[in-house]
Amino acid sequence: MRFARTAVLLAAMTGLFLAVGYLVGGAGGALMALFMAGAMNMFAYWNSDRLVLSMYGARPVDRTSAPGLYGIVEHLARRASMPMPKVYVIDNPQPNAFATGRNPENAAVAATTGLLALLNEEEIAGVMAHELAHVRNRDTLTMTITATLAGAISMLGNMVLFMGSSRGSEEGNSSSPLGFVGSLLLMILAPLAAMLVQTGISRSREYEADRIGAAICGNPLWLASALAKLERGASQIDNHAAEANPATAHMFIVNPLHARSMDNLFSTHPATANRIKALQDMAQQYGIHPHDRKINSSERDGGQTSPWEKAPGHRRGPWG
């Protein structure tokens, strides 16, 4: 059901982009918009992962430089029957994480130093399982295309007045089919409509990644506990890189922005309380109780099996 909703919203985003192109320049404008969409999405498909990782100053880590994080991701990928993604750490005090990449074979997961300092081992496992779920569902590609189209729609909306009014200035008209007032409304409303569609897709995919991520790690309460801590931490600590690049906010597991002037209608993430409630309900269905969540983090077995797998209440998901 959520996949169908995402497909409909993505189709709506594409249709809106072509409609704006038509209103800017008629049939030729629609064709130009189609060409732009193809070119931008092709560029995003091949380069988005490198661009976003560079944007946040992410550094690659391995089994030697970050054995705990790398080992957790490696074990989760094996449980989910997925290729091992590249693992990155971002030097940022805000606790957060994201995944990127065009497909599971070319994916990366990144966690901030703030997240690694705040969460315990099983909570980190819950977060990384959520990010792997995004990779498995190819949400990283879907949201990259959505963000690209949203940015292009905003750009076309701003072009409406400039392309139209200059040609019709002598007669006081705009060459846009809507006229000057319609063009002005389009310039304002088109980006807002694109933002609404983008947030609709993002919210839908977050719930699905929570569900599948909980199944991958085996205990929904690990992710629920992590989300509660991340929500508090992200609300108290600024993420300056994200504030400078708000179009990437949807990539993170919790909203990295302090959207002081934005209404919840435009939030890229569902309410964290609702996500936690859904995970708690899922845990109840699994027969997992809150006292099962904690583990003895001192357990070690030479790195062959992650210690959090031994936790009481651990349940293998559908890929376990």
pLDDT at 260: 46
Residue 256 pLDDT level (bands cut at 50, 70, 90)? very high
pLDDT at 315: 43
pLDDT at 197: 61
Query: What b/e readout covers 57-79, taking b as 16+ CB neighbours within 10 angstroms?
Result: ebeebeeeebeebbbbbbbbbeb
pLDDT at 289: 76
Largest CA-CA distance found in the chain, in angstroms, rounded: 81
Alpha-helical segments (H) within 63-120: 67-79, 113-118
pLDDT at 84: 97
Question: Locate tokens 């074979």: which residue?
Answer: 105
Better-scored residue on pLDDT, 182 or 315: 182
pLDDT at 295: 41
Q: Is 131 a catalytic residue?
A: yes
Tokens standing for residue 203: 């919210």
pLDDT at 306: 45
pLDDT > 90 in the chain, percent: 40
Instruction: Find the catalytic residue in 123, 131, 231, 309.
Output: 131
Tokens standing for residue 148: 């690209």
pLDDT of residue 205 exceeding 70, the answer is yes
